[in-house]
């Protein structure tokens, strides 16, 4: 795993500038660095050595040195591609997967992307025509950010590299705040920095003669095969996943595995007999601590297990450091738990496998089952359901009220993804500038439009794959692992695994028995029943408990009364959210946390220079 950065065109001190851009992402690759600099482009690289430890230094060049590659990621089928390219006459001077991409691009152009199996963000400069080709992997496991600054294209694995480019004028993007308050993350492709964008998953970018063109080369589309029976589906999942895990374990260094009590990482861990697994938890009871479950499974499958209990003070003391590494505010508190488990793992291994992506691909989130829960009620006339919703809406909360309200809405109106924070009305109430506020559904509509022909469960999965998974799940996985110089691999998010998942009929994904039903059946063949059927927790964090503790309540209240808070928010309104939670009137913990994390992040990146990190 590595970090890349660079910019086109010439400016004075270009070599020093690209070194500075690479230095701020040293954590992505502490083992070595490399550069290519001429009057047309400056390319930087930081390396975390995983494959071909001695010979894999980048940049990588083709035979006549007319093409230059810097690459972040892993290509799991590189040996097969290497063999094919050698048969076509290409000569290799390293044993790396990186060189396979470069010669593949020479042979097939952008069509090389169709042949790759893995995670990647890479840049190829062609000295002959002065073009720059940048690509991001299918699901967005590895990041690429870019900005056009005058006549320069500036890019990097992390935004902080682009901020080092002296001609970029750092400006806050208020549109991102509106989206963040709806979703708890910055919805791509925009970022919180004006003019800096996230290259979307399954896209490549070409820059030539001062013009940027972006092209989608792959999309996660579903084509359920309703004739697929349960046994065939389960057999296929088991076979393709085992093959994916084995491919993801290819490395010249030791590979470990994250392990929670959930089925996803537990399934992955069953392929790690004799190796190491890692878990963290909090000292707030079983609801916030999966260590005993993970330890129990580790003993049964024969792995060396390592665990850490995160103290409350450790967690709160790390918030600033974590948000610095995130680049953009992320109000998912599990990113901090993820920081600690990656830090723990990095003390023993350089590579870990994890279970991200299983829920999105196979239908694992509990909310997906709402479709089945509402199905009977939604057979009633829409007019009746809407009228009843209008009656109960102004009423105080009671059991069944939410069911009536949501049952009067289409899936497009009621589901904006796994994290719905503030409504438009709430945003208008708390923000000083209410003009930036939009309905969250305005942002999700383009995705629902593309998924219009799917059943409702598949629509929800498609939306999560393109928004939640990119903006939250994979962002925190990349940033937290890289903050600790650890490579994180995700075998569920594999092209071949998805080729199977896209065909699973919805009743074998979500049904009355369970979510991600067929995948659980495959996992059950490899682990004890209790672990196969256990409900997912996923790094649960006791924020709601802390915010009722006077110590942490006061920390947040001070932030809510700060000058930064007054710049963006109506302080009385956000303090009311905090006080109502503290006094037990309402569970506002997620909304309070969302505002608090934004304030911390803003202070790091737009506050006084001494407040960074």
**Residues known to be catalytic:** 2
| Distance of alpha carbon 333 from the chain centroid | 14
Q: How far apart are CA 142 and CA 176, in angstroms?
A: 21
Determine the angle formed by the axes of helices 319-326 and 474-483, rounding to 10 degrees: 110
Helix (H) or strand (E) segment spanning residue 466: helix 456-466
| Residue showing tokens 């109000």 | 331
Q: Is residue 37 a contact partner of residue 59, using CB atoms and an 8 Å limit? A: no
- Residue 237 burial class via C-beta count within 10 angstroms: exposed 0-12, middle 13-18, buried 19 and up: buried
CA angle (448 as vertex; 447, 454 as ends), nearest 5: 120
Q: Is residue 163 a contact partner of residue 136, using CB atoms and an 8 Å limit? A: no
**Nearest C-alpha neighbor of 126 from the set 147, 106, 143:** 106
Q: How many C-beta neighbours within 10 Å does residue 503 have? A: 16
Q: Please report, for residues 119, 233, 462, 515, 558, the alpha-carbon distance to residue 497 in angstroms, rounded to integers and kept in the order given.
A: 14, 12, 16, 18, 48
| Residue showing tokens 């005058």 | 150
Q: How far apart are CA 466 and CA 271, in angstroms?
A: 29
Tell me the sheet residues that pair with 6.
43, 155
| Residue showing tokens 């940027």 | 212
Q: What is the DSSP letter of 409?
A: S
Q: Is residue 263 a contact partner of residue 534, using CB atoms and an 8 Å limit? A: yes
**Nearest C-alpha neighbor of 555 from the set 583, 596, 605:** 596
Which residues have CB under 8 Å from 177's CB, separation 6+? 192, 431, 436, 568, 598
**Nearest C-alpha neighbor of 539 from the set 313, 265, 342, 337:** 337
Q: How far apart are CA 444 and CA 331, in angstroms?
A: 19
């Amino acid at each position: 795993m590595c970090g890349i950065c660079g910019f086109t065109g010439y400016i004075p001190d270009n070599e020093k500038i690209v070194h500075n851009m690479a230095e701020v992402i040293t954590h992505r690759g502490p083992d070595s660095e490399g550069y290519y600099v001429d009057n047309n482009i400056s390319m930087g690289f930081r390396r975390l050595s995983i494959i071909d430890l001695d010979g894999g230094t980048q940049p990588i060049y083709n035979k006549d040195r007319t093409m230059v590659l810097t690459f972040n990621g892993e290509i799991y089928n590189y040996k097969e591609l290497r063999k094919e390219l050698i048969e076509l006459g290409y000569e290799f001077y390293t044993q790396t997967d990186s060189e396979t991409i470069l010669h593949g691009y020479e042979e097939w152009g952008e069509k090389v992307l169709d042949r790759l199996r893995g995670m990647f963000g890479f840049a190829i400069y062609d000295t002959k025509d002065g073009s720059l080709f940048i690509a991001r992997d299918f699901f967005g496991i590895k990041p690429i950010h870019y900005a056009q600054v005058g006549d320069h294209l500036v890019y990097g694995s992390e935004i902080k590299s682009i901020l080092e480019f002296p001609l970029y004028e750092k400006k806050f993007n208020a549109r991102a705040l509106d989206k963040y308050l709806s979703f708890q993350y910055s919805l791509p492709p925009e970022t919180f920095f004006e003019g800096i964008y996230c290259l979307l998953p399954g896209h490549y970018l070409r820059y030539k003669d001062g013009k940027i063109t972006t092209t989608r080369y792959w999309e996660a589309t579903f084509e359920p095969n309703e004739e697929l029976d349960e046994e065939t589906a389960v057999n296929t999942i088991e076979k393709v996943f085992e093959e994916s895990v084995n491919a993801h374990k290819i490395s010249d260094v030791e590979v470990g595995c994250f392990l929670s009590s959930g089925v996803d990482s537990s399934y992955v861990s069953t392929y790690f007999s004799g190796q190491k697994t890692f878990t963290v938890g909090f000292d707030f009871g079983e609801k916030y601590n999966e260590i005993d479950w993970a330890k129990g499974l580790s003993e049964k499958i024969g792995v060396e297990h390592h665990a850490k209990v995160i103290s409350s003070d450790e967690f709160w003391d790390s918030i600033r450091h974590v948000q610095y590494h995130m680049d953009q505010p992320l109000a998912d508190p599990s990113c901090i738990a993820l920081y600690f488990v990656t830090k723990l793992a990095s003390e023993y291994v350089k590579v870990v496998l994890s279970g991200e992506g299983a829920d999105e691909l196979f239908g694992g989130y509990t909310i997906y089952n709402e479709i089945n829960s509402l199905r009977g009620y939604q057979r009633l006339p829409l007019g009746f359901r809407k009228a009843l919703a209008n009656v109960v809406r102004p009423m105080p909360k009671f059991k069944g009220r939410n069911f009536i309200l949501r049952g009067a809405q289409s899936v497009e109106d009621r589901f904006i993804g796994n994290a719905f924070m503030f409504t438009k009305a709430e945003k208008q109430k708390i923000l000083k500038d209410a003009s930036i506020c939009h309905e969250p559904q305005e942002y999700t509509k383009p995705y629902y439009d593309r998924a219009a022909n799917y059943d409702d469960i598949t629509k929800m999965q498609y939306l999560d794959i393109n928004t939640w998974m990119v903006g939250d799940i994979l962002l925190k996985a990349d940033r937290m692992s890289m903050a600790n110089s650890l490579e994180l691999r995700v075998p569920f998010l594999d092209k071949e695994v998805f080729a199977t998942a896209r065909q699973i009929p919805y009743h074998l994904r979500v049904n009355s028995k369970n979510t991600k039903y067929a995948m659980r059946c495959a996992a059950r063949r490899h682990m004890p029943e209790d672990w196969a059927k256990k409900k997912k927790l996923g790094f649960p964090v006791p924020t709601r408990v802390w915010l009722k503790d006077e110590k942490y309540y006061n920390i947040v209240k001070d932030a809510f009364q700060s000058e930064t808070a007054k710049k963006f928010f109506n302080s009385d309104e956000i303090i009311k959210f905090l006080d109502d939670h503290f006094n037990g009137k309402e569970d506002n913990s997620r909304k309070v946390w969302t505002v608090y994390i934004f304030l911390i992040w803003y202070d790091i990146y737009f506050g006084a220079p001494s407040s960074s990190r």
